[in-house]
């Protein structure tokens, strides 16, 4: 087979089971790659080398006896450092958890291991997974493999950067506000945000270690260099938690179509509410043109029955409520007392409007949240109607491609330059919110290199619980438009 570094997870498992390569060889190749490449990228923050080597030898011995551990037998992989891993530190990039060593695995980690995967390391993220870039006081910045002066995205930034540079063949990330999709797009790899509650979140930090409740909006999901690997991982990860599986089961329907030409897609590539970088729009348009040549029904004007602004206002209120759960009591109280002044200051341009919107969402009462949740239900009904006519909505992941590291100061006050225009940093949350607010699945697929020299990506949004339709389209799109391209080394 080809070089072990850069090979897909699916191909590696196939080669291992066919005894064309040993598990130990695959693991050692990735450990050597990390030694060579991680210093410049800073994607891998913890290694469990000794135990991984021992487990690799056990996997090879099991195969020699005719045993098959499962669909991921012997596959070495890394895990985002927000997922608890038994006897291996889980820091969430935060000083508070610098010495946190869980006793048990998070549910998704346990499922990967039960399927035969070997977890050999943890990947970097922003502190508490609370930014769309990856930088924290414990391990520092993760650099984009395409340009080390630029961000790899976040919060699963270490995951995406490790994949792009060949340091791991598969990753487990998490997504509350684009945390799988954003770094996948910025680093030029694949990612999948599953339908809400398709995968249990027990063992994710945040919330605090030991938390038994699951946050609104948040999901677990895979990142990979090939869309087929997303499906491989999803088949292992999905299903109800221990309490629910007494009576419940989950089986995603098959993709809506077998042939690419039978898909009906709508394209929402720009919007006055959140303008998209010209170079990225051009690449998205080129993708749509290529799809039309392949016979796909492409509608550039179709939209769900609400505006991007309406969706974002609902989404941001829900997101702020989740984020506020982790605020210290004194900060939360001060935010509530300051809300009237913030609203007034925002009206006169003295503070960003987003700051007032965040304060309002963070301090809303339960009755207010119920009203916002009802508004979300109307969004979901609108999507149901939309997906009766179209199979998928194609959209940007972000209004821009990878940008220079911008980690100084509060996220509500940061600025970005997009096509020469100074924009609010919080514009980065608008396009991810299309899928996020309504619990929808969304795959991210690379679509080549745009005119600015950086990877471009498309967000493939599908109907609730029709995750395999999103992944199938991403797979077929890769065959038409190139798929993953390794960054220049």
User: pLDDT (tens digit, 9 = 90+) per residue, 219-257?
Assistant: 999 999 999 999 999 999 999 999 999 999 999 999 999
- Give Cα separations from 185 to 152, 175, 249, 256, 339 (angstroms): 9, 13, 32, 25, 35
Whether residue 254 lies in the annotated active site: no
Strands (E) in 421-454, as ranges, are 421-424, 442-449
Active-site pick, 22, 82, 174, 179: 179
In the set 80, 113, 122, 231, the catalytic residue is: 80
Mean pLDDT of the residues in the chain: 96
Domains in the chain with CATH codes: 9-246 (3.90.1300.10), 264-481 (3.90.1300.10)
195 vs 326, higher pLDDT:
195
- d(CA 215, CA 210) in angstroms, rounded, equals 14
Predicted confidence (pLDDT) at residue 410 exceeds the cutoff of 90: no
The pLDDT value given to residue 326: 78
The token pair at 351 is 């503070």
- Alpha carbon distance 355, 361 (integer Å): 10
**pLDDT for position 340:** 87
155 is catalytic: yes
Confidence at 352, pLDDT banded by 50, 70, 90: confident
| One-character DSSP codes across 296-362 | -EEESS---SS-HHHHHHHHHHHHHHHHHTTS-HHHHHHHHHHHHHHHHHHHTTSS-HHHHHHHHHH
Q: Cβ–Cβ contacts within 10 Å for residue 99, how many?
A: 8
Q: Has 80 been annotated as catalytic?
A: yes
Rounded Cα distance, 177 and 433, in Å = 7
Set 22, 82, 155, 195: catalytic member: 155
Per the CB < 8 A criterion, the answer to whether 132 and 182 are in contact is yes
Residue 286 has pLDDT above 90, yes or no: yes
Q: CA angle 121-122-125, nearest 5°?
A: 160
pLDDT above 80 (res 344): no
DSSP 8-state symbol, 428: G
d(CA 216, CA 221): 15
Residue 85, C-beta contacts closer than 8 angstroms, at least 6 positions apart = 48, 79, 102, 105, 106, 109, 119, 122
Q: Which pLDDT tens digit goes with each residue over 452-488?
A: 999 999 999 999 999 999 999 999 999 998 899 999 9
């Amino acid at each position: 087979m080809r070089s072990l570094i850069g090979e897909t997870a699916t191909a590696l498992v196939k080669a291992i089971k066919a005894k064309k390569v040993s598990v130990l060889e695959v693991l050692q190749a990735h450990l050597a790659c990390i030694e060579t490449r991680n210093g410049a990228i800073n994607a891998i923050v913890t290694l469990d080398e000794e135990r991984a080597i021992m487990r690799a030898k056990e996997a090879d011995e099991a195969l020699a006896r005719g045993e098959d551990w499962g669909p991921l037998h012997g596959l070495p992989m890394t895990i985002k450092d927000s997922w608890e891993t038994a006897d291996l530190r889980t820091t969430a990039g935060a000083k508070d958890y610098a010495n946190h060593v869980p006793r048990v695995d998070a549910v998704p980690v346990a499922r990967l291991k039960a399927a035969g995967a070997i977890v050999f390391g943890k990947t970097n993220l922003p502190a508490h997974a609370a930014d769309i870039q990856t930088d924290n006081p414990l391990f520092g910045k993760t650099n984009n493999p395409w340009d080390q002066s630029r961000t790899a995205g976040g919060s699963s930034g270490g995951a995406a950067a490790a994949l792009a540079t060949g340091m791991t063949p598969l990753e487990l990330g998490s997504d509350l506000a684009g945390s799988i999709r954003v770094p996948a797009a910025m680093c030029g790899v694949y990612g999948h945000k599953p339908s809400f509650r398709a995968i249990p979140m027990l063992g994710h930090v945040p919330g605090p270690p030991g938390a038994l409740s699951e946050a609104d909006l948040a999901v677990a999901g895979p990142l990979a260099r090939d869309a087929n690997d997303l499906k491989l991982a999803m088949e292992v990860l999905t299903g109800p938690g221990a309490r629910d599986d007494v009576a419940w089961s989950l089986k995603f329907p098959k993709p809506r179509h077998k042939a690419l030409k039978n898909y009906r897609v709508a394209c929402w590539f720009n919007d006055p509410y959140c303008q998209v970088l010209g170079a990225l729009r051009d690449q998205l348009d080129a993708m749509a043109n290529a799809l039309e040549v392949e016979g796909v029904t492409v509608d550039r004007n179709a939209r769900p029955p609400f505006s991007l602004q309406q969706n974002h206002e609902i989404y941001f209120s829900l997101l702020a409520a989740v984020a506020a759960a982790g605020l210290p009591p004194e900060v939360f109280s001060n935010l509530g007392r300051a809300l009237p002044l913030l609203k007034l200051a925002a009206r006169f341009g003295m503070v960003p409007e987003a700051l007032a919107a965040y304060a309002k969402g963070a301090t809303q009462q339960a009755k207010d949240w119920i009203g916002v949740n009802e508004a979300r239900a109307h969004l979901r009904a609108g999507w149901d109607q939309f997906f009766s006519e179209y199979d998928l909505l194609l959209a940007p992941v972000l209004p821009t491609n990878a940008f220079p590291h911008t980690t100084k100061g509060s996220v509500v006050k940061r600025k970005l330059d997009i096509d020469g225009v100074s924009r609010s940093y919080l514009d980065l949350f608008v396009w991810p919110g299309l899928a996020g607010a309504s619990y929808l699945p969304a795959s991210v697929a690379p679509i080549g290199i745009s005119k600015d020299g950086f990877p471009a990506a498309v967000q493939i949004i599908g109907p609730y619980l029709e995750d395999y339709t999103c992944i199938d389209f991403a797979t077929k799109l890769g065959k038409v438009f190139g798929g993953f391209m390794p960054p220049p080394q």
